[in-house]
Amino acid sequence: MKYSSTRGLQQNLSYNEVLLQGLARDGGLFIPNELPVFTNDELKKMSNLEYTELAAFIINQFSSKCINYNDLLEICKKTYKNFNGKDIAPLKDIGSKNYILELFHGPTWAFKDYAMQFLANDFERILSNNKQNSLILGATSGDTGSAALKAFAGKDNLDIFILFPKSRVSPIQEAQMTSIINEGAYAVQIDGDFDDCQQIVKDLFEDMSFKEKVNLSAVNSINWVRVVPQIVYYFYSAFKCGSPQRPVSFSVPTGNFGNIYAGWCALKMGLPIHKLICASNKNNILTRFFDSGSMERKKVIPSLSPSMDIQVSSNFERLLFELLDRNVLEVKNNLELFKSKGKYDVPLQKLQKLKETFLAYFVDDNQILNEIERVYKLKELIIDPHTACGTFAANTVREKNQIEKDIPIISLACAHPCKFPEAVFKAINIKPMLPEGSQDLLEKDKRSLHSVASIESIKNLILSNRRFN
């Protein structure tokens, strides 16, 4: 399999090259030249695999010429052995063909662990084979940072710097990041919002002299290898609900568009997905886009679901590339408009095509609180504010009869409720407990760096603190 940039400069790269580069040199995102497609018979065979085996089978479609399958299977076993519980991705039935897929049983209690743990192990493979060092740079609106630092800290052949918006992540998320104290691993507070952090990361990747000087790579979902492991749990949960013999739908809390894009990939790979429900909070740029065809940036508003407080959904570029029939000039023009004017539009006929697959709803803070209460009363199940956006959107779709009653809807539970205790307590008067063995998290020693939202400031900070020259 070969990969190319959504903006056209780089074409026909290998899996290993895409893993190490992260972001393309033209600022675009890498995608496969062609997605693999499974037949119905292949899907039936896949439905009998355990999670680790299924992960190796699916990831192998994207990496086969670069990783021996048996080595890949060992990487997957190493990746998921430290997940808690009997099932790596438990599916909870909440009635009326509605389900919650719990994706918070990894080391940092968030769905990011499913891809980040794999990514760290795969980086270790390729850097060891190539006898290289690397510098990892990422931005986080909450969960990516702790997942990345937990996965990459302590690796001998790389340093990692994670930018996060000061005072705009939950106290638990910040404690998870800043309590990871390892040489070469740094959480960096930025005076700004997540979009500022993300833009700095993108700009530094486009600075070729800096990128080559530090051997820069990415762990955000702008890195294609972050997307691939997320495809796995769409197949896994759909099989539990009767696929491929029956279609399923998914409701996905959505900020940066990486998670729901993985679902779109699963659909294109042959999984019978009926609808993908894009669930946003009050920073509803995606809902507005799916309603009007206009992608228009507005001011980020702090909410009860801070990991989705985003107005620049970077992974949407991959879907835009497909929507515009892989026309790199149109993609570049739209993204240049968005960067300069804060807005671009797609033709309405293109939008209608997207609406055959996507439904979109947004949820305000009061609705989040009411939804946490509704689900708790329904099944005594505590969900976090981001998950509540997904279950609210799924319930709205049911009420509007936009999905047939016999088609299951799987809502993705992206974070453990303990990460957002204030919101949960406000909703149901219960403070969710930290997982066993983590009760002292807030009392642990903390370490972080601090910077203004400036490319030069971050560049100097990295050069002053990295281990490798």
Of 242, 216, 209, 218, nearest to 144 by C-alpha is 218
Under 8 Å between Cβ of 361 and 392 = yes
Using DSSP bridges, classify how beta strands 294-296 and 343-345 pair: parallel, antiparallel or unpaired: antiparallel
Q: Distance between CA atoms of 24 and 156, rounded to whole angstroms?
A: 26
* DSSP secondary structure code for residue 415 in this structure: B
How many residues appear in the chain?
A: 469
70-102 CB burial, b ≥16 within 10 A, e <16: eebbbbbeebbeebeeeebbbbbebeebbbbbb
- Report how far apart, in Å, the C-alpha atoms of 423 and of each of 168, 170, 367, 388 are: 14, 10, 12, 11
- Determine whether 112 is an active site residue: yes
CB 136 within 8 A of CB 158: yes
Pick the closest to residue 181 from 448, 464, 436, 441 (CA basis): 448
Q: How far is CA 345 from CA 227, 287, 298, 417, in A?
A: 26, 14, 15, 37
How many Å apart are CA 357 and CA 311, to the nearest integer? 22
* CA dihedral (246, 242, 62, 321) positive or negative: positive
Which residues is 186 bridged to in the sheet?
A: 161
Burial class (CB in 10 A: 0-12, 13-18, 19+), 405: exposed
Distance of alpha carbon 426 from its chain centroid, rounded? 27
- Choosing from 44, 65, 86, 112, which is the catalytic residue? 112
Rounded distance between C-alpha atoms, residue 90 and residue 368, angstroms: 23
Active site residues: 112
